[in-house]
Amino acid sequence: MMDKASRLKVALQKSGRLTDNSLDLLVRCGLKYSRGKDQLLCYGENMPLDLLLVRDDDIPDLVQQDVCDLGIVGLNVIEEKRLAFQARGIAPLFEQLQVLDFGKCRLSIAVPDGAKYDGPASLRGKRIATTYPNILARYLRENDVTAEIVTLSGAVEIAPRLGRADFICDLVSTGSTLLANHLREAEMIMESRAAIISTPVAVSAEKQAWIQRLRMRIDGVQQVKE
Ligand code: PRP
Ligand code: ZN
Ligand code: MG
């Protein structure tokens, strides 16, 4: 039996668009796991690997702080964190290892059903609610638009109805969230999909070997699906 420190810790989204596909990928890589009572930890039964189920937005921090060795998270969250660290003058230390073939979505500006939208100029002077303030700020800068960014930690799609914002900037996958909230996609800002990130801290040779093994199995699984 291996000691705790030699087990890989992998951070996954607890509940959301990436959860099922992330678990499925690891199962296809041969992992058998059991879920802990608190539902926050899954224990690998046939590999020295445990899963930590957390909010997707927390995954880059957990990996950067070396709480987890690996994380599976959207490029949207990775990019937002990178820009946030950059703005604070901190080097984003987590490393992007591999882009995956699931979690495809786009970060888009969406407007209320009846609202007029004729390109980025329509954003001028408006309030835009988002959980991605850094990516949105860069987009506005690049398009020479001054607008007010309303940073929210969730439920962005109801901000226009609550009168907190004119538009939103959020992820669109199937489009059902927008539809349910009487919003329409007006402008795509970035495309995204899931990716694997790893800790900047050197890990033991044993752990490194398992990371390599896992990466090769992931390559194999993804090729089969293509
Ligand atoms: C995103 C987004 C919407 C939903 C859109 O949430 O914030 O809620 O997905 O998908 P749809 O177009 O298929 O309806 P995500 O799963 O990233 O979780 P979070 O907002 O809780 O971080
Ligand atoms: Zn999130
Ligand atoms: Mg959401």
- Say whether both 185 and 198 belong to one domain: no
Give the number of domains in the chain: 2
Tell me, yes or no, whether 164 and 181 share the same domain: yes
Please tell me whether residues 81 and 147 are part of one structural domain.
Answer: no
Cα of 46 vs centre of ligand 2, distance in Å, is: 30
What is the model's pLDDT at position 3?
55
Q: What ipTM does the predicted assembly reach?
A: 0.95
User: Which of 173, 174, 176, 188 to mutate to test ligand 1, by most ligand atoms within 8 A of the CB atom?
Assistant: 173
Query: Ligand 2 mean position to 56 CA, how many Å?
Result: 5
Tell whether 47 and 94 lie within a shared domain. yes
What pLDDT does 225 receive?
Answer: 66
pLDDT averaged per 10 residues in sequence order, the chain, 226 residues: 75 95 96 89 95 96 94 97 92 88 97 96 98 98 98 96 98 97 98 95 91 94 76
User: For position 90, what pLDDT does the model report?
Assistant: 86
**Are both 89 and 198 inside the same structural domain?**
yes
Res 1: pLDDT: 43
Instruction: Please give the pLDDT value at position 2.
Output: 47
Q: Rounded to an integer, what distance in angstroms lies between the CA atom of residue 95 and that of residue 109?
A: 28
**Domain containing residue 130: CATH number:** 3.40.190.10
Structural domain containing residue 201: 4-102+193-225
Same-domain check for residues 59 and 164? no
Q: Is 176 in the pocket of ligand 1 (CB under 6 A)?
A: yes
Residue 198 sits in the same domain as residue 143: no
The answer on 158 and 78 residing in a single domain is no
CA 17 – ligand 2 centroid, Å: 9
Give the per-residue pLDDT at 226.
Answer: 62
Q: What is the pLDDT of residue 42?
A: 95
Best probe residue, ligand 1, of 20, 135, 168, 171 (max atoms within 8 Å of C-beta): 171
Q: Are residues 141 and 184 in the same domain?
A: yes
Assess whether 26 and 93 both reside in one domain. yes
Q: Using the atom order of ligand 1, give the atom closest to the CA of residue 156.
A: 7
**Does the Cβ of 56 fall within 6 Å of ligand 1?**
yes
Which atom of ligand 1 is the closest one to the Cα of 177? 14
Task: Please give the number of the atom of ligand 1 that sits closest to the Cα of 179.
Answer: 14
Residue 201 carries which side chain, given as an amino acid letter?
V
Same domain, 178 and 111: yes
Backbone phi, psi, residue 212, to 5°: -60, -45
Sheet holding 148-151, edge to edge: 148-151, 127-130, 167-172, 105-112, 183-192
Looking at the fold, whether 98 and 197 belong to one and the same domain comes out as yes
Contact criterion met (CB below 8 Å) for 186 and 110: yes
